[in-house]
């Protein structure tokens, strides 16, 4: 395989004209672009069949299979972008965390950070070599996708990764995380700084391998108040965004607390040179969210994933309402407010994609 950077630039004229890439630059597009978080997942029969013979971890770490999953999902759904098939917690393994995936409990970290002194156990990610399988997945996916279709890379944001590392898995109250955050600011900043440097290295490597843009997932940031987010999280997330390759668009997404939206936008800084997108969940109207982040930023969202459990008629009605809230303003990327739910009928996902394309076209 040749130099991914050269290959990437060779495709520039094709993928820059993609509706999604126009939307991130807030340029008029022929229709509102759509992709879906967790668009390759358990709701797809072909994915469930593959998982009968391959564990989730092995699927993520086998580039041929991960790339095939990435590409076939886009072909199946007709969405406007692909996202690399991977998992946001994989970055923690080469940093010294022991990660297991349990069908019932989800991801579990067997050696969580239990106290301030444990922060030193988390090693610095000096190279992306231990994550080379992800970069190979990027390269294989990029090679198999049409030139005009952008490929989205991603990483967990530092707060979400820190919370996983401290809680050891899912949590309802994030008690351990907040206790460390409040009681030992030095240890907290050391942990977040180490994660921020690792994330920066990782997402830049994905861009170099062939991705056109990246999304930072802060899936658990909604447990924080705006003041706590500003004090304990925002500086570290901003340092990542400032260090990502300057030509790369970034989507910054968090769930659970609409009051954080202005801070998510603030993480991009005051310069407007980088295409910036704020991802929005379903707990706020899209028009209200756009006013909160400012119309000088693009927006992504924000249909409730549960809406896809209804009917094509209801899905079309809700899509139409959401597009009406966007008011034809350039810069809207249609997405769910979080990932596709496992029991979602495939035909309903197809109905949503068709409705968005049809209703937003002139």
Which residues does the annotation mark as catalytic? 38, 42, 51, 87, 164
Q: Do you find a cis peptide bond into 225, omega within 30 degrees of 0? A: no
The answer for residues whose C-beta is within 8 angstroms of residue 270's C-beta and 6 or more apart is none
* Best CA proximity match to 159, nearest among 186, 178, 131: 178
Token readout for 233 is: 């999280």
Determine the number of helices (DSSP H) and then strands (DSSP E) in the chain.
16, 9
The answer to whether residues 155 and 203 touch, using CB atoms and an 8 Å cutoff, is: yes
Token readout for 67 is: 């790339």
Q: Starting at the edge strand that comes first in sequence, how are the strands of the sheet with 332-336 ordered?
A: 82-83, 151-156, 213-218, 250-254, 276-279, 298-303, 332-336
The secondary structure element, H or E, covering residue 191 is: helix 185-209
Beta bridge partners of residue 106, listed in sequence order: 102
Distance CA 19, CA 306 (A): 26
The answer to whether residues 18 and 222 touch, using CB atoms and an 8 Å cutoff, is: no
The answer to whether residues 59 and 47 touch, using CB atoms and an 8 Å cutoff, is: no
The answer to whether residues 353 and 296 touch, using CB atoms and an 8 Å cutoff, is: no
Distance CA 300, CA 289 (A): 10
Distances (CA, A) of 334 to 14, 27, 151, 271, 338: 21, 15, 16, 25, 12
Q: At what angle do helices 132-144 and 63-77 cross, to 10 degrees?
A: 40
Distance CA 350, CA 360 (A): 16
């Amino acid at each position: 395989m040749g130099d991914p950077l050269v290959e990437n630039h060779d495709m520039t004229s094709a993928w820059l004209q993609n509706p999604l890439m126009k939307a991130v630059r807030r340029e008029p597009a022929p229709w509102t672009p759509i992709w879906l978080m967790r668009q390759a997942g358990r709701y797809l029969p072909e994915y469930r069949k593959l998982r009968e013979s391959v564990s989730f971890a092995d699927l993520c770490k086998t580039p041929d299979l991960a790339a095939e999953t990435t590409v076939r999902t886009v072909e199946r759904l007709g969405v406007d972008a692909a996202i690399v098939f991977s998992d946001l917690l994989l970055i923690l393994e080469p940093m010294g965390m022991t990660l297991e995936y349990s069908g019932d409990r989800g991801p579990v970290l067997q050696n969580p950070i239990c106290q301030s002194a444990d922060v030193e156990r988390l090693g610095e990610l000096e190279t992306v070599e231990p994550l080379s399988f992800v970069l190979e997945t990027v390269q294989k996916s990029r090679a198999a996708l049409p030139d005009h279709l952008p490929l989205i890379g991603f990483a967990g944001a530092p707060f979400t990764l820190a919370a996983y590392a401290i809680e050891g898995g899912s949590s309802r109250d994030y008690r351990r995380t907040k206790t460390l955050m409040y009681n030992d600011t030095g240890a907290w900043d050391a942990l977040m700084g180490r994660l921020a440097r690792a994330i920066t290295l990782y997402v830049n490597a994905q861009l170099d391998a062939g991705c056109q843009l990246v999304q930072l997932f802060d899936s658990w940031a909604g447990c924080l108040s705006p003041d706590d987010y500003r004090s304990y999280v925002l500086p570290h997330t901003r340092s990542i965004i400032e260090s990502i390759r300057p030509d790369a668009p970034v989507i910054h997404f968090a769930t659970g607390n609409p009051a954080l939206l202005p801070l998510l936008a603030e993480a991009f800084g005051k310069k407007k040179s980088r295409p910036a997108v704020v991802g929005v969940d379903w707990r706020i109207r899209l028009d209200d969210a756009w006013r909160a982040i400012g119309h000088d930023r693009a927006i992504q969202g924000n249909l409730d994933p549960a809406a896809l459990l209804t009917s094509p008629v209801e899905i079309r009605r809700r899509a139409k309402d959401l597009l009406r809230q966007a008011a034809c303003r350039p810069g809207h990327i249609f997405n769910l407010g979080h990932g596709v739910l496992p029991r979602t009928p495939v035909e309903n996902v197809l109905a949503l994609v068709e409705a968005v394309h049809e209703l937003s076209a002139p």
